[in-house]
A and B are shown apart, each in its own frame.
Chain A
Amino acid sequence: MKKQTLKKIIPAITLFMALIAFNSCGNNNNASNGKSPDSNNKEIVILGAGSSFDYPLFSKMFDEYHTQNGIKVNYQSVGSGAGISQLTHKTVDFGASDAPMKPEQENDAGAAVIHIPITAGAVTISYNLPGFDQTLQLSPKVLADIFLGKITKWNDANIQAVNPGVKLPATAIVVAHRSDGSGTTNIFTDYLSKVDADWKSKVGTGTAVNWPAGLGGKGNEGVAGLIRQTPGAIGYVELAYAIQNQMPYARIQNQAGKFIQPSIESVTAAANVDIPADGKVLLTNTTADEGYPISGFSWVIIYKEQKYGDNTRAKAEALVNLLNWMIHQGQQYSADLDYAPLSEAAVNVGAKLLESVTFNGQPLLTAKQ
Chain B
Amino acid sequence: MAYPITQPTNNLARTPKTGLVVNNAAQKEKLQHKKAFRAIRFEKIFKGGLPFTGILILALFTAIGLTLVIYAFPSVKALGFSFFWGKVWNPVEHIFGGFPFLIGTLITSFMALIIAVPFALSVAIFLGEYFPKGWLSGFLKGAIDLIAAVPSVIFGFWGFFVLVPVIRNIEFKLGLPANGLGILPAALILAMMIIPYAASLATTMIKMVPADLKEGAYALGATRWEVLKNVIIPKSRSGILSGFLLALGRAIGETMAVTMVIGNANIIPTSIFSTGNTMASVIANEFSEADSPVYFSALIELGLFLFVVTLVINMIGKTIINRTKIS
Majority SS at the chain A contact face: mixed
A215 and B291 form a contact (CB under 8 A): no
In chain A, what residue has the closest Cβ to B38? A8
B45 and A4 form a contact (CB under 8 A): no
B164 and A203 form a contact (CB under 8 A): no
Interface with B: A57-65, A137-145, A176-184, A349-357, which one?
A176-184
B180 and A230 form a contact (CB under 8 A): yes
CA distance in complex: A40, B243 (Å)? 59
Residues of B within 8 A of A14 (CB): 46, 49-50, 53
B291 and A181 form a contact (CB under 8 A): yes
In chain B, what residue has the closest Cβ to A204? B92
CA distance in complex: A180, B259 (Å)? 10
A11-B46, A210-B88 are contacts. A218–B288 as well, Cβ < 8 Å? no
A11-B49, A104-B292, A172-B177 are contacts. A209–B285 as well, Cβ < 8 Å? no
Closest CB in chain A relative to B229 CB, distance in Å: 42
Interface size class of B (residues with CB under 8 A): 35 or more
Closest CB in chain B relative to A80 CB, distance in Å: 6
A14-B49, A102-B292, A214-B265 are contacts. A181–B168 as well, Cβ < 8 Å? no
Number of A-B contacts (CB under 8 A): 120
Closest CB in chain B relative to A299 CB, distance in Å: 14
CA distance in complex: A207, B293 (Å)? 14
Q: Is B71 an interface residue (CB 8 A)?
A: no
In chain B, what residue has the closest Cβ to A8? B42
CA distance in complex: A181, B42 (Å)? 52
- Cross-interface CB contact of B264 among A8, A21, A206, A217, cutoff 8 Å: A217
In chain A, what residue has the closest Cβ to B49? A14
Residues of A within 8 A of B281 (CB): 179
In chain B, what residue has the closest Cβ to A80? B289
CA distance in complex: A79, B52 (Å)? 39
Q: Is A56 an interface residue (CB 8 A)?
A: no
A211 and B265 form a contact (CB under 8 A): yes
B290 and A81 form a contact (CB under 8 A): yes
Q: Which of A155-209 contact B (CB under 8 A)?
A: 172, 174, 179-183, 203-209
- Cross-interface CB contact of A181 among B56, B259, B263, B286, cutoff 8 Å: B286
B263 and A216 form a contact (CB under 8 A): yes
B56 and A18 form a contact (CB under 8 A): yes
Residues of B within 8 A of A229 (CB): 160-161, 164-165, 180
CA distance in complex: A108, B164 (Å)? 44
Q: Is A277 an interface residue (CB 8 A)?
A: no
In chain A, what residue has the closest Cβ to B157? A225
Q: Is B3 an interface residue (CB 8 A)?
A: yes
Residues of B within 8 A of A215 (CB): 179, 181, 263-265, 275
CA distance in complex: A8, B45 (Å)? 11
B181 and A218 form a contact (CB under 8 A): no
Q: Is B67 an interface residue (CB 8 A)?
A: no
Residues of A within 8 A of B286 (CB): 180-181, 208
Q: Is B89 an interface residue (CB 8 A)?
A: yes
Q: Is A345 an interface residue (CB 8 A)?
A: no
Residues of A within 8 A of B177 (CB): 172, 174
Q: Is A78 an interface residue (CB 8 A)?
A: yes
Q: Which of B113-166 contact A (CB under 8 A)?
A: 160-161, 164-165
A209 and B92 form a contact (CB under 8 A): yes
Closest CB in chain A relative to B32 CB, distance in Å: 14
Q: Is B266 an interface residue (CB 8 A)?
A: yes
A104-B292, A181-B288, A215-B263 are contacts. A208–B91 as well, Cβ < 8 Å? yes
Contacts from B to A (Cβ < 8 Å): 1, 3, 42, 45-46, 49-50, 52-53, 56, 88-93, 160-161, 164-165, 168, 177-181, 259-260, 263-266, 275, 277, 281, 285-293
Given contacts A81-B290, A210-B91, A215-B263, 7 further A-B contacts (CB under 8 A): A80-B289, A82-B288, A179-B264, A179-B277, A208-B290, A229-B165, A230-B179
The 3 closest A-B CB pairs, nearest first, are A181-B289, A216-B264, A179-B264
| 30 A-B interface contacts by CB (under 8 A) | A11-B45, A11-B46, A14-B50, A15-B45, A15-B49, A17-B53, A18-B53, A78-B288, A82-B289, A102-B292, A105-B291, A108-B293, A179-B285, A180-B285, A180-B288, A180-B289, A181-B288, A181-B291, A204-B92, A210-B93, A214-B265, A215-B179, A215-B263, A216-B264, A216-B265, A216-B285, A229-B164, A229-B165, A229-B180, A230-B168
